[in-house]
A and B are shown apart, each in its own frame.
Chain A
Amino acid sequence: MSITVRNLSFSYGRLPVLEQVSAEAEAGRITALLGPNAVGKSTLLRCVIGALRPGAGEVLLDGRPAHRLRGRRIARRIAYVPQRSVVSAAFTVREVVRLGRYALEMDEKRVDEAIERLELTEVSERPYPALSVGQQQRVALARAVAQLAVRGLLVLDEPMAAMDLRHAHNCFSLLRRLADQGVTVLIAMHDISAAATIADDAWLLAGGPPGRLVAAGTVAEVMEPDRLEDVFGLGFEWVQRPSGGRVLLAGTCSVVDPGTM
């Protein structure tokens, strides 16, 4: 599924939040949505999933306006993981994951797979409210995975914020695998380094209110250290890894040559 955002502007009442945002995301790729706090990332994601109607401009999913999607048609196309998932009932983990199949054909196998992929098998019969925040986020992701269609759209809003490193890493691998299978992944992240590692493309928001799109494109194109420093007020540096590839490090850093010590 392709996402096309064209001249999107949005205000909550009289408060402008986003202005003239234009960007695209393609199937089979992970697009990271980046920017400082309160720049409008969550709002942009909510526009993409059709929860909010643009004040101006448009958001198109495979050429169709996102906010017009209703009911089953949303469920077939989009799976969404919010920043903080809330379930106001003492369902078990399995029951929550099953909710992802609400508008779709119940497929217990998909549910089992999702639980296993997110390493939730051991807690699958425990009540959701009894889990840690990190576990709850994994449950939300499992629910989305159980729901996700083959060429669908997976939208995530900082889903790994409370996860420990190992689980976060596991989730990133899962996203990679899903993208490789043709899913469009759009993920808001605050960890710039992680974004640089796992994402193929990036949308960078800055300023505001209202927030504006500063750059959109591949990670290499968007995440130039100077530009990032302008946006985040922090120095960044691409560093070559001994095992190959490169990582983006944040903050001042001095690379210490072991040979000089």
Chain B
Amino acid sequence: MTLIAAGCAEPEAEPADKGDGQGSDLRIASLSPAVSRTLVDLGLEAGIVGRSPFCDFLDPAIPIVGDLRNVNYERLIELDPTHVLVQTSQKGIDPTLRELAVEHGWRLEQWSGVDSIDDIERVVRELPAILCAPGSGELEELTARSAELLNTIAAALAPGRGAGELWRGRTLLVYALTPVGVFGRGTYLHDVLVRFGATNAVSADGWVELTLEDITRLNPQAIIVIRPSPRGTAVKPTDAMEAAGVLATLDVDAVRAGRIEILTHPDALMPSTAISEVAGEMCRILRRLKEGSVPGS
């Protein structure tokens, strides 16, 4: 009984669940970089004892326990975490992981379908109750930090940030080029865009695939290419037209007016609390688009 929704009672199975809420006893194995990022932003980095191979922002000394597709069960058992957390688009939990969690008394929590900002915020809100015992001091402290983090996110997304200076036209948010994939309604980057007052050129839901003809007909007024740069590399000035690849050859308003930008935050494709930094970059991009300047460093 280690899979819980927020607010459930203590688990009943033996051996006794180790999530007894002592902060210093928190041993979290995170199988998703999105969760790891959120834990870091909540100040819980010290409690992470196991990470996924893509959590490259964490201390490299933290052992890798795999991601959900490929879990190193032995290492997980060796690390003996109190909590195993994963954020994934898959529904359903790996039965082996669930069995092991029951056997070893780990609290296993999975968030699936984290697409929008609301979903990201839900994870932030639910974490304190998952990690801490009810009524404990740690819970109170973590809940406060959670609220603070939510405020940070809200502030980063506040539409009032010099809204008049930001681009508001029909914008395409592109994450892939062959074939072209864009962020549709209900995705976190769409939420960011919309909160800043701009319009998503695409009205379909989720992650949408478009042909060049579709894009020509949509005639976006601006194109933002999401191209996360690897962490630790200096963000070099990049020619946005080049980054847009074949899109830069289309006969659409965005190309004619030169309104093509690149969003390079390393965590841009990760629905996590990094959204506040990503939003900051998005804001700068929208300001540049408004000013009509050619992208530079």
Q: Do chains A and B touch in the complex (CB under 8 A)?
A: no
**Which positions in A face B, CB cutoff 8 Å?**
none
Which B residues fall within an 8 A CB radius of A?
A: none
